[in-house]
Structure 1
Amino acid sequence: MSRTVIVTDSTSDIPAALIEQHGIVVVPLRVLFGNESYSDGTEITASQFYKRLVESPQLPTTSQPSPADFVAAYERIFEQHPGCYILSMHLSSALSGTYQAARLATDLMEGDHEERVQVWDSKSASYGFGMFVVHAAKLAAEGKSLEEIVASTEELRSKRALYFLVDTLEYLQKGGRIGKASAVVGTLLNIKPILSIDAEGVIYSVDKVRGRKKATARMIQLFQQDLSGVTKIKVAVGTTADPASVQDFLEQLSSVFTIEETLFSDIGAVVGTHVGPGTIAAYIWPA
């Protein structure tokens, strides 16, 4: 049976050790601070990015890979693994043109290579889809077919719940997602927005709670509603700051669920540009 190679982009925020362990190919986006351009995750780390973000008077911008970048990545894989298939898994098409660039790349492939690449819209962001990439890579290593990998990953997507807790309204305001007046009032009232991503891959506001502790408690209530009847879970936590800042959340979570596995991920530059430092993202699915 032909091997399947898993490709993703840098917004999947997969820890480097897992990328190496599972042989995942990552095509990076770029982050721009004025005229300075950095390859996301390689030329600028998450910690370096957030330091620059806080110091910068304006939001940085990001640029997606070009179709040519994906063609180059795919062709390298076909050279290394003749006859393989490629599953290319990307940031929600509602949030970025990265998925579309990968789709366009397949039209530029020669021979039967176009038919050997499947591009998959995660309809999610950060490790919210990085977990799907890792899951797919594990199945590929077991020798599962491309069709089996996609079916299993879509089943996992249907079971997973996710919420982001934003610590400050400053970056949502800078990015134009909320008005300046709302940001000022919200900051004065210590409002913490809870965000999620809908079935079409669009970020939306779920609730707004005063104070961080109440906000994390509200997140856990939401997870209980989404995972009704589930007692044992796996959890991945993405942060834009010190991972130690999520310990209170995990302690609250463990009081209502049995946590079988915990993974930490750094929220990268693309999502971080809009949510800012101090954000917690939690991704939970049945164990």
Structure 2
Amino acid sequence: MRRTFIVTDSTADIPKELADELHIRIVPLTVMFGETAYLDGVEMTAGRFYPELVRSKKLPTTSQPSPAEFRHAYETILEAYPDAQIVSIHLSSGVSGTYQSAVIGRSMLDHEQPVAVYDSKSASYGYGYLVVHAARMAAAGREAAEIIHSLEELGRQRQLYFLVDTLEYLQKGGRIGKAAAAIGTLLNIKPILSIDQDGIIYPVEKARGHKKAMNRIVEMLEQKVKGQKIHVVLGHTADLSTVESLTDMLRSRFDVADVLYTEIGAVIGTHVGPGTIAVFVWPAGDEG
């Protein structure tokens, strides 16, 4: 019987079939268009979300799960498996209150339970990869403490970049001003974003045009992982064709162990908009 179970939230952007295969429990965030609320990844898939986003005159809002929802997720597992350990891995506390909500949910349990809540200090598959890694370790019978130690090591090795196709949603979300957005759009500016070791999103640089931006991402990756065999995950906004040329570029310049594609879900997509591409890379070494 498995003793360790993995819980996460919907912003990990893990493909459903993979989450199901590894028995990962996902607690969804909420996306609201006006007064109508949808559970991210359940009632609002990426395929449905981006057309709705483009049609909407007002930017949707997002909210984290309540502590009670996390408590319920933990209790459901512990009622079925009283001796279970739980590792609960979540979106960076630097960009969301989801992690803190999970911590409060753990404190609401009736008595002391072996639930470890882990701040991924990342977003999208930047930590979805960690969740999948944790689930595979759990399936192999590893203890929670060993899993968390492995996550710390793996997290330090990740490289990730988001290439934003349009400035409209960064402007609507208040991350850049209207004037900057207008000038950037006129000049065909494509921002490249990343997440630092504290889990904070920051602009890496800007490039004029999509192709130049992709080339710049590849150049930056070469500085980080040149000569290493790597795992690659490419995120897209429900349009796989947008990442095909980048896949070819990466395969031609790196020793790529494997490539996984995932959709950037509604919560992350609200802030970056359609056409965004995400690149997640880890060395393909001994991963526990």
Is TM > 0.5 for Structure 1 vs Structure 2?
Answer: yes
Q: C-alpha distance in 1, partners of 2:238/2:49?
A: 11
Matched letter for residue 106 of structure 1: R
Percent identical pairs in the alignment equals 57
For residue 106 of structure 1, report the CA deviation from its aligned partner: 1.4
Structure 1 contact 2–83 (Cα < 8 Å) conserved:
no
Q: C-alpha distance in 2, partners of 1:29/1:87?
A: 18
Q: C-alpha distance in 2, partners of 1:272/1:2?
A: 34
Unpaired runs of 5+ in structure 1?
A: none
Matched letter for residue 54 of structure 2: V
Q: C-alpha distance in 1, partners of 2:10/2:242?
A: 24
1:42 maps to which residue?
A: 42
Alpha-carbon displacement from aligned partner over 1:236-286 (angstroms, at most 9, x marks no partner)? 011114112111111111121021111011001111011000000000111
Whether 2:169 is the aligned partner of 1:171: answer: yes
Q: C-alpha distance in 2, partners of 1:95/1:69?
A: 20
| TM superposition outliers: structure 1 runs of 4+ over 4 Å | none
Q: C-alpha distance in 1, partners of 2:149/2:2?
A: 17
1:282 maps to which residue?
A: 279
Unpaired runs of 5+ in structure 2?
A: none
Matched letter for residue 52 of structure 2: R
For residue 2 of structure 1, report the CA deviation from its aligned partner: 6.8
User: CA-atom RMSD, angstroms?
Assistant: 1.1
Q: C-alpha distance in 1, partners of 2:280/2:55?
A: 29
How many residues were matched structurally?
Answer: 284
Q: C-alpha distance in 2, partners of 1:139/1:47?
A: 31
Q: C-alpha distance in 2, partners of 1:253/1:228?
A: 11
Secondary structure of the structure 2 residue equivalent to 1:261: strand
Q: C-alpha distance in 2, partners of 1:4/1:82?
A: 11
Structure 1 contact 239–267 (Cα < 8 Å) conserved:
yes
1:90 maps to which residue?
A: 90
Secondary structure of the structure 1 residue equivalent to 2:95: coil
Secondary structure of the structure 1 residue equivalent to 2:57: coil
2:257 maps to which residue?
A: 260
2:183 maps to which residue?
A: 185
Question: What TM-score does the superposition give when structure 1 sets the normalisation length?
Answer: 0.97
Secondary structure of the structure 2 residue equivalent to 1:259: strand
1:220 maps to which residue?
A: 218
Taking the TM superposition and a 5 Å limit, the aligned residue runs for 1:37-186 are 37-113=37-113, 116-186=114-184
Secondary structure of the structure 1 residue equivalent to 2:41: coil
Alpha-carbon displacement from aligned partner over 1:142-166 (angstroms, at most 9, x marks no partner)? 0011111111111111111000000
Alpha-carbon displacement from aligned partner over 1:8-28 (angstroms, at most 9, x marks no partner)? 001111000111100000001
Matched letter for residue 284 of structure 1: V
Structure 1 contact 124–197 (Cα < 8 Å) conserved:
yes
